[in-house]
Structure 1
Amino acid sequence: GPLPEPEIHARLVEALGVITDDDLAPLRAAAAQGREAFAAAFFEATAANPQLGAVAPVVLYRTLGPTLPDGAASAALLWGAAHRCAMGFEASVRRAGFTGEGLALGESLFEGILAGHHGVSFTLDEWVDVPARVRTDDGRIHVHIAEMVDE
């Protein structure tokens, strides 16, 4: 059958020489020690080598992915998204029922993603909080897409 999409992307990135086994070896070793050790190693490695950060989904798939339960390697790329969400929207993540301080909040969210085979509510907000999510200079949603407008 067809390969999983993350495997296809990983093979392309590897064939292009963007990352090597030497780049990934320390992260694989850290992942074998647990996600706390992995988090420290991942953030350090991507800070030191921005190229790894540019292909983070592949790096996560190849390093963290094999350690995930029940064949969930493809979900590894969501580890980074869970941490970014927890860091950027901490109060919203907490209102959705996730707990922890610092990186533990992102880990809690990621665990929820892994356990939620049919989806997960990852943030919860009140309507009064919604306008702050629009990050344009004038606070408005801009829907004008030049390519879609007849002239």
Structure 2
Amino acid sequence: MVVLNLAVMTFATVVALMFAVDAIRGWYRNRDRDRPSHPVSIWRWTGFCFAMGILLTRGSDAIVLWNWDTRDPAATGWWLTFQRFVDPIAMCFGLTGLALLYLSARGMVVQLRRRPFPIDMWSSLPMLKRPACIAMLSLIAAIGVVSTR
């Protein structure tokens, strides 16, 4: 169970970080074109907030699991305390993402229905190769760490 938790927490942290960095790059690339009330900007902000919430919660969980040491309970306790301080910040990011999603829903639905276009998500499936590799590497690393403890 520890292996699975360690692998999933590490994977979620890395993938959330990748999405947050991608959102920041998108903002930077399109800063002259996208205004704050533009649907793409709202979508990026919402995704960024959710990604940061996942990054902080699962990242602090992963740090606790990676640094778990039964021979040094004080250090383990320090990381658990750190996790408790990070949780409210992560929750604020998640609630901000929900607020953005909720507040933009009325205008976003109207905008998307005005000029509907089909989204072919299956053609984007190859983009999941890197996250799948990260999941496998996280699992291998977790097995190695837990088996050598």
Higher relative contact order (CA 8 A, sep 6+): 2
Same topology, TM > 0.5: no
Aligning the two structures, in what range does the TM-score lie when normalised by the shorter sequence? under 0.3
Normalised TM-score (structure 1): 0.24
Normalised TM-score (structure 2): 0.24
Whichever structure has more helix as a proportion of its residues is 2
